[in-house]
Structures are given as C-alpha cells and as structure tokens.
A and B are shown apart, each in its own frame.
Chain A
Amino acid sequence: MSIRKRLAVMAVLPLGVALLVSIYIASMDRRLDDNVKELQFVTALAQDVFDLNFLSDQYLIYQERQIKAQWLVKHDAIGNKLADKLQAGQGNDNLWLRLRRTHKDMGHIFTQLSNDLEVRGKFTTTGQLSDRNERLAGVLLIKAREMFSTVVRLAGSKQNELASMRERLNLSVIALFMSLALVISAISAISSRTIITSIARLRRGMDIVAAGSLDHRVERLADDELGHLATTFNGMTERLQSADANMRNSVAALRQEVAERKRAEEKARDLNNKLEESIAALEKEIANHRQTGEELRNKERLLILQSRQAAMGEMIGNIAHQWRQPLNLLALIVQSLPECGEGGELRAEHLKACTEKSMKVIFHMSQTIDDFRNFFMPDKEKVLFRVCDAVSRAVSIIEGSFAGSMIRIDTQSAGDPVINGYLNEFSQVLINILLNARDALVERNVDNPRVTITINTRDGKAVVVIADNAGGIPEEIMEKIFDPYFTTRGPDRGTGVGLFMSKTIIEKNMNGSLTARNVGEGAEFRIEV
C-alpha cells in the first residue's frame, strides 16, 4: 500500500471507529433503556408485592372485608402485570415462573384463609380451625416473603444486568478506542518502520553508489512511493553504470589510442632518427656524390673539353678540308696575277675580276668558319626542325673526313619527318654515330666502306637508322657501348663519352630512344624521336 493510502487509512480509521462506536453506543443505549424500563417495572412490582404483604399482615390482624377487597385488588393488579409480562414474551426464566406460581399460590391460600374466617361453621372444632388458619396464615406469609424475595432477586438481577451492560459498554468503548489506538499505533509503527527502513536502504544504496559502486542496487522495497523511488534510483544507477562503462571504454580506447600514438610517436621518432641518420648518411652520400659528381663533372668537363677539342680538331680538320680547295683556288688566282702582269694582260678589269673572285672565295671560307662555330653552339630552346636538314648538316660537316677515308655515305629518305627538339644536339648525335662508324670502317680496313642513313617515320615518330658494313659490334660489349667512359679505342683516341652523351641527348632531352644492334655486315644505330 502506498504511503498516501496508509496515511489516508490512518486518517479515516478513527472516523470509522467513531461511527462504529456511536452505532454501538446507540444500540447499547437502547438496550439500557429497555433494561431501565424493566428495572422500573420490577421495582414497581416489588412495591406492589410489598403492599400486598402489608395488606396480608393487616388482614391476618384485623380480618376485615375492606382489607380483603384491597388485598384482592392488589393481587389482581400484580397478576395483570405478570400476565402482561408473559404476553410480552418476557418473564420465562425461573424467577418469573416462580413469581407467577407463588402469586397463584398466594391467591389460593388467601381465598382459603378468608373463606375459613368468613365461614367458621364449616369446621367441626375450633382447634382444627385454628390449626388450619394458623397454617394457612403461615404459608401465606411464607409465600408473601417468597414472592417479595423473588421480586427483589429479579430487581437485583436487573440491576446487575444493567450494571453489567454499563460496564460492558464502558469496557467495549474503552476496548474499541484502545484497539483503535493500538491499530493506529501498529499501522503508524509499521509504516514508520517501513518508511525508515526504506529510507535507510535508499540512503545506504545512495552512499554506496555515491562511493562509486555503480553495480549496487537498492533492495526491493515496499510497494509505495519509496519503493518507486528505489526503482527509479536503481534505473538511474543502471543508466549511470552504463554511461560509466561507456566512459570507461572511451577512456580505455583513448588511453589505448594515446599509447598507440605514443608508440607511433616513438616509432616516428625512431624513424625520424633513422631518417635523420639516413638523411645525414644521404647528405653525406650526397656530399660524396656531389664530390663525386663534381669530380665527374670535372671529368665530364674534361671529357667534354677533350671531346670539344677533338671536335675542334675534327672541325679544324674539316675546315682545313673545306678550305683546301678555296685556298688552292685563291693560290691560283694569286699566282695568275704576276703571270698576267708579266704578260701584260694585267688590267683593271682582270684585276677586278680576280679580286671579286678572291673575295668570293674568302667569303666562302669565312662562311665555313661561321657554320662550324654555330654548329658547336648548344641550343637553348626546342625548335621544330626537319630531320633531313639535320642529317644534311651533319653529313656536310663530316663528309670531308669520310671522303678522305673513301667512305661512301648513302642517305635514303622516306618522308620528311619533323622533330620538336634541339637541332644542334640532334646533329651532334648523328655526327658521333657517323664518326664511330668511320673509325670502325677505317680501323677494320673494310672494303667498299659505306654508311647508310635511312630516314622514315613509324608510329608518328621520326626514325633515323644509321648502318655500316664494319662488321658489327662484338656481342660481349654490346650492353656496355652506352656506358660512360667505355671505349674500345685507346685513351689517346677515345674518351668513351660519345655514345653516352648521345643516348642522354636523345632519351632524356628529347624523350626519344637510341638503340644499337648488329645487322648483316655491320652495326645499326636506331634513333626514334
């Protein structure tokens, strides 16, 4: 039962009990009134019996008719009262029965006595009459006394009954109120105990939960507000426990993450250290490489210088080859002048013609020098150039030396492809390949030495194939021919950077390819850009 209901019961219970007590008191009061009336009746009857006894005594003394009449009236009055009592359904107990019997006996005895006294002639002897009258008078007095005693007992009985009822009423009221007090006290005590116990359990549960034991639950309490509070508290604790578990899991996850991060940091730190070490090593290596590169660059510069010097030598040779015919022409012109002077043929027109002719030759020679100088100047920007032009330029530069070695150059062109790149570098590559072919042809003293240059286009790319009949490249060195500083000639004739530089120019600077293979009578170099 809820606390509210209990309090309501405690509030209503006294009213209910007061109502019951009121009903009970009213009922008892009615019964008391009945008993009081009965007592009053018995008391009045006792007075009548007393009067009858008084009249009996008077009659026995005076034996007068008016007393007899009074006696009979009183006796009848008592008889009527007893009859009324019997009709009312009361007076069936022993005392009332005795009273009626005695009353009846008294009537008979008084009648006999009065008759005896009035009709004296009935008896034969005075002595007998005296005995009978005396006996009847005695019995009458005994009956009168018995009747009075009985009425007194009835009155006493009624008084006792009345007193008993009053006592019972008082005791009942006291008992009812005591019971009420006990019940209320018991309910109060039980309720208080229940509430205090519930509060104590709640308090203990709260203390335990507050101390951190979220798995604690308040014991099941009574089915009242505190029980509901305990249930709510348990639910709240359960949710709190769940939240705490989630938080703990989160914290654990965070801790794990932090640990992992720390480990990652450690690893990163280690990696960093290693990286720093690697960097340091790399820097050291780079430094070494730089140093090596510097050395290499120095060597390259030296090689390039050597190459350039070789090129310059080649160029000078070529210039010399180019210049040989004009110089002979110029010598002839100069030599013709004295002859013309000696022959008198030296005239102004002739002189002017010789001069113009000489100047033309000299201009040609100067042009030759410019061409060579421009050829060896590196390109700065990519330009579109025709492959055939580049091949012609290269051939024009080296044709003098090839001619000197009786090497024939055959140029075959299938199309006129155009390349976006560095013209001079591309021509330099062609010259390097051609010069290597020349050297191989010269060195191997090949009959009918020749070099074939084929120009075509394949898959949108310009293809230049340079093939010779010098017998090919030995297979054992085929893979090394593009390595830097690899040469089959002695240090006095080769630097070993020609093909290396050529591959670098074609593949790195112009995104093309340079390959070599042996075909037929000799080697074949293929340039695709």
Chain B
Amino acid sequence: MGTSVITTKKIAVILGVVAVIAGGVFVTMVLQGGRSGKVSRSPERLVFAVAALLDSVPVLVAHHQGFFVQQGLDVEIKFYSAGKDALAAVRRGEADFATVADFPIMLAALDGADIRVLATISKSGRENSIVARKDSGITVPAHIRGKVVGVIPGTTSEFFLDEFLVMHGIPRSDIVVVELTPGETVNALLSKRVDAVSTWGQHAADLLKGLGDNSIRFFAQETYQMYWNIVASRNFVAGHRDTVQKVVTALDQANSSIRNNADGAKKTAMEAFRVDPAQLREVWPDYEFDLALDHTLLLTLESQARWAMKQNRTTVREVPNFQEFIYADALRRIKPAAVSVMR
C-alpha cells in the first residue's frame, strides 16, 4: 500500500512536470509562431498617399495608433490635397496605396489605369457641396444660373457640380465654369473671382468661415454619396497580397477604433488637419466610417462613367467592367459580410 501510494505520487509528479514542460513548449511555440511574422522579419516599408480630408482619418488612426506596426508594416504617410493627386502618386509609383474618392477612380479606369480598389473606408453625402456668395445674388440653387462657378477638375467637385445642375434643371451652358486647384478655391471665392465653388471638406469650411453670413452652401446628399476608397496598383496587389491583407486588417482595426473611440479619432484628425474642434464636432456625423466593398460603388462608378462618356471626358465609348478594378479577397477574408460586390 505504502509503495503504491509513493508510486502514484511519483507518477502524478512526473505527469505534472511533463504537462508543465509541454505547456511551456506549446506556449513558446505559439508565441514565437505568432511573432515570427511580425518580429522576426524587419517591418515592410510602405508609402501611403493620403488626401487631406476627414474621409482619410482611418488611415491616420491606423498609423498613429500603431495598427500598421502591429501588422509588421512601416508606413510612411504622404499627404496630398486631393484624392486625385494621391491616386496619381500611386500611378506614378511614388506610393503604394492611396486614399481617393470614386470619381477619380472612374476617370483613372477610363484612362486605362491598372489600379485596384481594396475597400471603401468611409462614405459621406455631405463631403461635397456648392459654397456661394450671397452678395452674388445666390440664395437658392436656382440662382446659380448665369453665375461663375469654380470647380476642381478631375475630382468629385466636377461631378458634384454637374449632379447639382442636373437635379436643379440648370443647363451647364447657363453657368461659367472656372477650373481651380483645391488650394485656389478659397481665395477664388473670397476674392469674388467666382460666385460659387464646388469643393469639399476643409476648403468649404474655410470659405464659410471667411465669408461668414455672406455664404450659402448647397448639398446633393440624396443623389450623390461619395465613396472614399483605398487603392493600389494592380501589380502591387498581385505581388503583395499579404501586405494588402495587413493593410486592410489594420484599416479595419482603425475603423473599429473610430467607432469605439471617436474622441481619439477626432484628436488624430485635429492634429493632422488642424481642424477647429467645434467644426469637427459639427461635421463628424456626416462621415460613415465602415470598411466595406458595396456593389453600389460599382453602380456609382458605372453611372459616373456613363456621365463621363456623355460629357466627352473620355475617348472610351463603353462603360468599363469595374468588377475588374475591385480586389475583394483581402476584405472578404476578414469581414465577408462587408463585401456585397457581385461576382
């Protein structure tokens, strides 16, 4: 009996030691395995071309809160005044990713660009607007007729102005369109070089602030909702699927962080864009930060392509199959319900 008790105790001790060692080895392997992709290799350097709009906040949050680093990415942020410019940087190979709206993507596609949309990171129906001077006699949309309107060509500004005119039955020939750069819109309107401008975000805010009561703003949120997207070149996506996956994952984490910690995201936005806090609080609800790939993006792109062809903005006579410009695998892998693009 005494011997059996001792034997049982010995067996229990041995099993315990074996279990502890096995557990330790397992945990070590798991930890090392988990870290191997992150730590054992040096971080992958990426350049992100970011348009300086609040729509791009998810990228900034992912960068500032270390979600890129957690994915083993060393991301360099390069700011551009418009998504069109950020996309151009990608097309030139100066950046790996870009934040850009639907309209520049459509134009790039018509231009034969080899790009892929990886995900929509935010949507907003009030990002674009027409800001006008009241002293130019503009108090309702119909007053635009016969006025000089500034527009930023190749951007949603251009499409939005057309949408606005169509919806309000104003022929384009009834207005004088002046092409401006994003930075010129503010001075152009303040100096009364134009009576109104089709612009976005911070420029609109600066104009409202500069004109004060002399300003009026028109939206077209019911008919136009801007999709703010992440784009990379086709070749990059084909050669860096893991990297793309990590970027999309980091952006999804950033979007979750924005929903759970809006104040943190606002702080990041204020630091990045020098936005007035009161203004930021006012416009923040206009943005819907949700990582998705909705089929409506394709419908929007197709609609814009038809418009572009009708406006003779392209030599292409056939609406492209924008499905070929969508890369949904990365998002589908981490968030399948967010992908509703038809295949």
Residues of A within 8 A of B (CB): 94, 98, 105, 108-109, 112, 122-125, 128, 131-132, 134-136, 138-139, 141-143, 145-146, 149, 152-153, 156-157, 160, 193, 196-197, 199-200, 203-204
Contacts and interface: CB of A to CB of B under 8 A. Distances in A.
B5 interface: yes
B253 interface: no
A105 to B, nearest CB: 5
Given A128-B169, A196-B8, A98 B288 contact: yes
Given A132-B167, A149-B294, 10 more contacts: A128-B171, A131-B166, A131-B310, A132-B166, A139-B222, A139-B303, A145-B295, A152-B340, A197-B5, A199-B1
Contacts of A109: 222-223
B294 A135 contact: no
Contact of B1 (A108, A112, A197, A203): A203
Contacts of A141: 299
Contacts of A193: 9, 12
B166 A149 contact: no
A505 B259 CA distance: 153
A146 B296 contact: yes
Contact of B222 (A105, A124, A149, A204): A105
B337 A156 contact: yes
A204 B2 CA distance: 8
Nearest to A159: B337
Contact of B337 (A128, A157, A200): A157
Given A135-B166, A139-B223, A156-B337, A200 B2 contact: yes
Contacts of B259: 94
B163 to A, nearest CB: 7
20 contacts: A94-B288, A105-B221, A108-B222, A109-B222, A112-B167, A124-B169, A132-B167, A135-B163, A135-B166, A135-B307, A136-B167, A139-B223, A139-B224, A139-B303, A145-B296, A146-B296, A149-B340, A153-B340, A157-B337, A160-B337
Contacts of B2: 200, 203-204
The 4 closest A-B CB pairs, nearest first, are A156-B337, A149-B340, A138-B303, A146-B296
A124 B142 CA distance: 14
Contacts of B294: 145-146, 149
Nearest to B290: A94
B338 interface: yes
A199 B5 CA distance: 9
Contacts of B9: 193
A122 B336 CA distance: 46
Contacts of A157: 337
A381 to B, nearest CB: 98
B299 A145 contact: yes
Interface string B198-236: 000000000000000000000001111000000000000
B169 A138 contact: no
B167 A135 contact: yes
B139 interface: no
B296 A142 contact: yes
Contacts of B224: 139
A199 B295 CA distance: 75
Interface string B253-293: 00000010000000000000000000000000000101000
B300 interface: yes
Q: Which of A134, A141, A142, A204 counts the most chain B CB atoms within 10 A?
A: A142
Interface residues of B, number: 31
Contact of A135 (B8, B223, B288): B223
Contacts of B163: 135
A135 B288 CA distance: 24
Contacts of B295: 145, 149
B201 to A, nearest CB: 20
A134 B294 CA distance: 21
Contacts of A108: 222
Nearest to A149: B340
Contacts of A160: 337
A131 B241 CA distance: 41
Contacts of A139: 222-224, 303
Contact of A136 (B223, B299, B338): B223
Interface string B159-171: 0000100110101
A200 B5 contact: yes
A94 B259 CA distance: 10
Nearest to B300: A142
A132 to B, nearest CB: 5
Nearest to A98: B288
A125 B296 CA distance: 30
Contacts of A135: 163, 166-167, 223, 303, 307
A374 B97 CA distance: 181
A340 B300 CA distance: 231
Contacts of A196: 5, 8
A257 to B, nearest CB: 43
Contacts of B169: 122-124, 128, 132
Nearest to A197: B5
Contacts of A146: 294, 296
A155 to B, nearest CB: 9
A199 B2 CA distance: 9
A318 to B, nearest CB: 119
A105 B221 CA distance: 9
Contacts of B337: 153, 156-157, 160
Interface in B1-53: 1-2, 5, 8-9, 12
A131 B169 CA distance: 10
